[in-house]
Every structure is written in structure tokens, then in C-alpha cells.
A and B are shown apart, each in its own frame.
Chain A
């Protein structure tokens, strides 16, 4: 199989996606897995029955603890004791290594902190479910070990529950709600930390529920729906006021991660509009924006177009395997289109910017060669509706009209789409979905002129100058990996198998050009593995150096880049699997030692200077982002004092 795959890959752009090969591979994986489990079982039983005590002892080297008189039990206890001692030792070391613990002597909590997690990081509880998820009342459906169990039990049921409806509402008889408190977002599932380490370190310098609040929310809702269904922004404003009230009228620091940054951006505009800039000045000290994708993430486009991406929005290989391998393509696409929050991260900004930072097209559709359509590989949805009937034929799952291949061939094949034009493509292949998106978000330069309410634009850093609250301090923190491993663009092709379908487009996995960082149809660029570099740095640079049009009140902005340093990764690191304690990956950066140190420095005050005021830290640039920005805006002086 592998040889065949390789052969296909080397043959340049011929779109031959052989479903047979895929099926074969999946089958062999599955049976290998089952076989493996079986063998382990047999070996276990054999070992249990055949080996006697003495052999066990020899096998596991228990005998080094043996005196002649001692029994097996003593040996075991001795082993266990050494293990416990080792663990204690390790624990002590890890303890001593905590950055908060070191800083405890010098710093103490000052500004109250409001934490805003990103997409997929908040647990969702099941309040009502269909039959396949009965007896799960108020269990965490997303964000706990039972998530895995549910998934294994019935994957399609799981996906059905997790998604919203096509109209971005609760599906019939399914109610999922965000869980509450710190435990909603500390671990995604046991052992996989999200905010846990940050919380612990903040605790070390004196943070606790009285001066810190984690605002969990339903990350599937569109930003507009968060307001209309949950009064979320009211809630957030209330929490800010309460934190301030409780802490000697000290102003609150908002710390956001990932999509939380988009929410924070929305919030300051919401507050500026509803409560006035004075409210912000009175209540908000600053905003720490950790890895916020303020120009969006290209993979949201591929997700809603074809349900594909290198991994899902945030959680790496885990989700990819979970979601990708098992569901039908259509269901998967529907899931992504049902997430109202996703369009808030559609790539935006001028194509020039993306080109300058990443030198890759956002999306290109290739001309596909006509091949004989194999009758078997029609997707199920197509089968359902392809019987001759009324003229406008629709895909029932996605609720979209079907596209004709020949039609697409003529219009989109061969064209290249940028952040400015991508909406044309969306409008063409998914008109219903696109109309829904437009009713919630005004994606600026896109397509027809959107005359929406003001609030539809608040998510976008492109369309809004910063508010006039001059004392709001903004810090952008993000990681940049050494390797080019962040998705920035896609090569698409038109499915040659079907004549008519709602999901005719898919990533052309047969194209790989190493010189362009193009692997299997995906252009990779710099970034933190999930969010491209441009999306994290450009808005911040623009605020900082873009002049009065974009930052009329001259809010102070500081930018801190964290470059991946492989030399800091040691094999002994407890979090080796997550990239070590200096990892700058999209999620791992919340637990990066440097980031935690800087966050603590920002929100707390040194003990020896009780009169001090919170100040910003200096900029740290590890990349040439400044130069790129200067080239983009020749008139702007970058780097010096403004």
C-alpha cells in the first residue's frame, strides 16, 4: 500500500484518489489493532499461568531487593517504596521548577484576572440528549474522559450531539451547555492540561477565586448568539465589575487564549458601545492576548468547505483521528458548518499581508481531469437525493443545493482565491451556509456590501479601530515554531467521481512540492502549528505602528514573540509529549515557562515596590516581522519610539 501511495504522490498533479487504497489501509489498521489486543491478552494469561513466583521475581528484577530470608512481599514493598521515593523526588523537582513558586518571593497578585479560554477548551455538559446518549445527564460530553468513552461507544451519535443544527441552534432534543468554574477548562481530559498549569502558577503568586475568574462559554455559538441566547457580554461585564468591586477597585486584566482573543476584541468594542470608553478605562487594566488569531485561521475555510484540515482547530492529532477517520465526509462537513463560532476565524485582512508573511495562496482549485466515475464511491447523501425529482435538488444533510461538476469545472477550476475573494467561492458552493454566516458576521471586504448592524463587525480587527479608552494596555503573546508546520493555504481539486454533489471540492492530497512547503495539498507556513504567524502578529503591529486611524487613542501595545527552542527540550521533561515546558505550540504555550513568567509580571506587582503601577513589558521580536511590516507600510517607522 505504502509503495502505491508513494507512487501516486510522485506522479504530479494527477488527481487519482483511490478509495480502494484508503479502505484497505483502514481495514488493515483495524484488524492489526484487534489482533494486537488479542495477543497481549494471550501473552498475559500465559505469563500468569506458566511463570511461577520465582520466575516473576527474576523477570522483573525484584531480586535485587531480596535478602535470603525475605519473602516476595518484602521485595514488592521495597520496590514500591523506591518507586514512591523516586516519585516524591520527581515531584519535588517539578515543584521547585515551577515559575510561580520562584516568583512568589518577589511578586504578589495585584490586578484581578479574568481568563477567557479558546475554542474547544471549555467542557460542555449534556443537559438533554437523544436515546443513544441517555443516562448522561449533566455529564461532561466534551472535556472529560467520558468524552472518549462516549465517542468509542457511538461515534456518529457523539458527533450529532456535539454539533449545533444547520441553523446554529440547539438540535432537536439535544442540549449541551458550557460547564462552569475553573474545572471547565483546566484539563481537556485527565492529564491533558489546558489552563491547569497557568492556574497553578497564578495561584502561587496569590491568585484565587476571589481575584481570578475563568469565564467558560459555549464555544460553538456565534458571537451574536452568545449575546442573544446567553447574555454573555452582560455576564462578562458583570464579572469584570464584580472582580473590581471585590479587589479594592483595582482594574481587571483580561487574559485570553486563541479564540478567546477574538471574544475579548468583540468585548472591548461591545463595552465601548454599550457602556462607553469610560467604563473600560474604569474597569479594565489591560488585555493579554495569547495566540489570538485576529486575522483568522485558514483551516476554518477548509473545514467548512470539505471538512478537512491537518488537525482540528486546536487539539492536534487526537481530534484529527477522532473526527476524521470515522465519520462520513458530509456529516463531518455539516459538523463544522454547524459551529457558529467558526466564521469569526475566517481569514481576513488584505491578501497583500498574507502574501508578505506567508508567500502562499489561500486556496487554489485545480482543473481536474475527467475520469470515469466509479459508481460505488458516491457518497450516501448524493444517493439519497439523486433520484430524478423536482429541479432544485438539495443535499439533505447539509441543506445545500447540489453543484454540477461541469458547472464548477467552468467557473472555479483554475482560479486562485485570496482572503478577499474566498467568500465568492463560499457563496457559490454553499449559498445557504454563506447567507447564514453573513447574517451573523460582516466579513469586510467580502462580496456584496454588507449593511449589517455594527455588532457584526466587532469581531474583526480589520474593520474596527481600537476604542478610545486610552489606558487599556494590550500585550500580544504568541509562539512561532522553527519549522513550517502551520496551515496557510490549500490546493483543492474537484471530485472526479461524482457528477453532482454538495461537496465536490476536496483537498488535492496528491500534490507535494517541497520548495513551496506544499505537502499533500496543504501549504505550510510559520506559525504556532495552528494559527499562522500573520494572524497573530500583524494586527498587533498595526495597532502599535499603524497610526491614529487604527489606534486613535494611542493605546500602549506590546508584542512578545516566543521562538521555539529545541535545545530547551529535554527527554526528562514530564511534558515531553506536549513539547516540554518551553513549548510554543498553540495550546502548550499557556504552560510555557516564559509566557507564565511574563503573564505574572504583567498582572502582579513586585513586593518591594508597593506603590508601583502595572506596566507593560518590552517588546521581544524573535522574527523579522518588523521588516515585513515596514515593507508593507513604507511610510511607517517601526521599532523606535513613536
Chain B
């Protein structure tokens, strides 16, 4: 039987999932939750789902047996409480990153899922982008040698709370998670600086590894920018939008446009989670891994505020 999915907060996210649904042979959307009934219905129609509700609570009341997995997209800011609710109802949880606004809240969700013996994935699509998968594969195949330096730029338009702290504890968690994933462990040093609309996080890993992640939310309207390079001891990989853009001439300075990577990342993410549910195993980008990234982000916020380095001591980060 196909794994049955429920999209929570579906109205504004349905379009991207509609693109992906036909590519998932072993999964199907059966329910959509949205506080606005007309939006819920429109999303359900586009996804081929038969059940709508205006809250997860109502969905559980009306049809708890009708679905297996809840999907909580990035736009939903009540992710941790929804994830707790779903886990307590015995539902597998795929949520956007960060899983929660604090590591304590995130660990609570991880523990709830563990107790309920349900799978938990907490990830942005960054890990699943074809470009980043290719970098990871090159590293795993030994082509790059030992990872030495990760550089990542991620720029977009202003959205929501935009202080440096907000950025570090929000979108930057995905970049931190990516760094931990590529280096294969937690950073031992954390230093961060920032300003309104911008943050840069500097991480040190064991054996001399290092990562620089900058996240800006100050671009004018239009495309965002994403660039990643990984320098290893015997090779390097450049997943770099600068080289992968097309040009538009319309008078004045030409513009560059992002060709994008389509729906491949979201598809890969869903496929991985559905497979993990079917196989009863821990998914890639697990909730526990997201907790680690949130912990590093919290250390980065402390660094932002104290203007000092934090070092990993035992399981926690302390001012150096």
C-alpha cells in the first residue's frame, strides 16, 4: 500500500507538491490541512487528496487512520508543536528545517518521535539538491580527499524577522546542517558576525576543517543566489550559480537568471522519507541531526552577541 501523506498548511505549498506527486510511485497525498477551507479544498483537488480539515487536531479527530505521514512545510511556523501532536498520534513527521526555534524544543520532538516509534526528518531541500548530492557523492567516493574548506553563499530577499539572530536561528540552520553533513560531524569552533538582514557563520571542524556560511536577506526582488564550493585535500567541487546562469539582454546592463534545479530536490527528499518509513529505518536528515545544527546555530547567536568564539566541550558549546 502506498504511504499516505497529509500536507499541513497546504494552501500556499500545494503547487510545489503537485509537481512532485506524480513522481512518487509509493506515496500519495490523502489529506490537506489549511485554516481556510477554500484553500484547503483547492490544494486537495490539485494533490488528489480526498480529506480536508482546518487544523491537524480536526484531521486527527475526523480521520486519524486515513494517513501515515504529516508534511510540515517551511511556511508553517508552528512546526515543533505540530510535530509533537503528530508524533503523539503515531504519525511519521517530515518537517522543514529548523525543526524548532530552540534545541530544547527540537529535542522534545525527537524524543516524542522516538517514544512513538515514528520516523522524523527535519531538513530543508538543500541537502537533496542535485548539485549538493553530487558534491557529497564526490566526497564519499574519495575523489576530493579529506574535506578542508566549505564555502557557501545563500542570498535572498527580505522575509519575516530579519535580524542577524533571526537569520542564524532560521535559514542559516540549513547551511550549518549542510556543513555538518559534508564534514561528517559537529564543528568544534563557532564564530559569527552579522547585522540586520545578514549573518555569516564561521565553523571549525576537527583536523583543521573549516566552513564559512553567509546568509543575506537583502537582495532586491528577483532571483536569489546560492553558491557552494568544497575544497578537499585531493580535489575540489564547485556547485556555483555564478557559472550556471543564463543571460538576458533587455537594454542597459544584462541580467543573469537562475536556471534552477527544478523539483528534483523536493522529490528526492520525499522519496527518501517514504523509503525510510517503509523500511522502518532512520531517514537521512533526521531530527537528531537537525538538533545538532540548531545547537550550533544557538552557539553562533551567542557568538554574535558576545563577539567571542565558542568551543565544543563535551556535548555543549562554551565561550573560549
- To the question of whether A and B form a pair in one complex, the answer is no
Residues of B within 8 A of A (CB): none
